[in-house]
Structures are given as C-alpha cells and as structure tokens.
Amino acid sequence: MFPRDGKRDGFSEWPLIPAKRRADGGHQVPVAVLLANAPRPNGQGSVLLDLDDVTTLFHEFAHVLHELVGQGDYALFSGTNVEPDFAEAPSVMMESFVTDGHVLKEIARDPADPTKPFPMDVVAQLKKSHAYSSRLEDKRQLALAKINMAVHTNGEGRRRS
C-alpha cells in the first residue's frame, strides 16, 4: 500500500488474468491488482489521503471491478480491454461518489482529529468546487474538439483528402 524504492508512483489497476470462456464451456475467473502508494501512516496509525488520492483510488478501484465482473468469451475483449470510452465510464461514475456525503461519512475522518467524522460542511464546499472544475474541464474538452475538427476537416465537417 505504501511507496518504496523501485515501485511505480500513484494508484493504478493491473489486470493479471482476464475473464474468458474456457474450452470446457466455463469461464476463467479474472484476477486484477490495485497498486497503491498511500502516504505512510501518521503517528496515530491513520493514513490520510487527500481528495485527489481518494478520487484516483475510487477511479482505479472501478477498473478492478470492471475486470472482475467481466464475462467475455475472449480475453481480448474482456474487462477493460474494450473501447477506451467504455473502459473509463465505470471509473468516471465511481468518482462521483467521492463527494457524496453518505460515502464520506463512512470512509472519511476529520484530518485535524481522525477520531471525529469528516466535517459535513466541507462536503458542500467540495461539491461546489468539483462542479466548477467540471465546467472548466468541459470547456477545455470543447476547445480541444474544435481544434481537432479544424485540423482534420475542411471546415465544413468533411474530412480532408
């Protein structure tokens, strides 16, 4: 769970054995790993993750779930071995739980005093901040799409020859 020399940084999901149909008609049980690099525990034995770390953890955990519930006939099309948009959809949906008050009440503690629950007034601030950031990201994606269209079309929506 914690950083060490030679270990990859951050949180990530790694499929080890993909789901696939076996020759006997059954399904291969998939196996995936969630690689984590949480900060070392504080003096009280608690690990405190910041919002970005929790968001990434939820995102990568959704990839693990995607791998584990796969029932594809072929390993090539199993788990997250699908179109990128579909591979990311469950993870992006899982990220929405990070600012859910009910979820935070269960998993989070007050950083100033880990014996106390996460302050719910901060949840409202997190949601407002997240909504604002989401709108900025939407505008960024629209700008990138416009650039892409300008580069790859003749301006009338038709591909350049």
What is d(CA 55, CA 126) in angstroms, rounded to the nearest whole number? 12
Instruction: Identify whether 60 is a catalytic site residue.
Output: yes
Residue with tokens 């302050």: 119
* 60, 67, 83, 95: the active-site residue: 60
Q: Which of 66, 37, 57, 43 is nearest to 107 (CA)?
A: 57
Q: Is 89 exposed, middle or buried (0-12, 13-18, 19+ CB in 10 A)?
A: middle
Cβ pair 64, 30 in contact under 8 A:
no
Cα-Cα-Cα-Cα dihedral sign, residues 92, 96, 98, 104:
negative
What tokens appear for 98 in the block? Answer: 């990070």
Angle between helices 84-95 and 51-68 (to 10 degrees): 130
Residues serving a catalytic function are 60
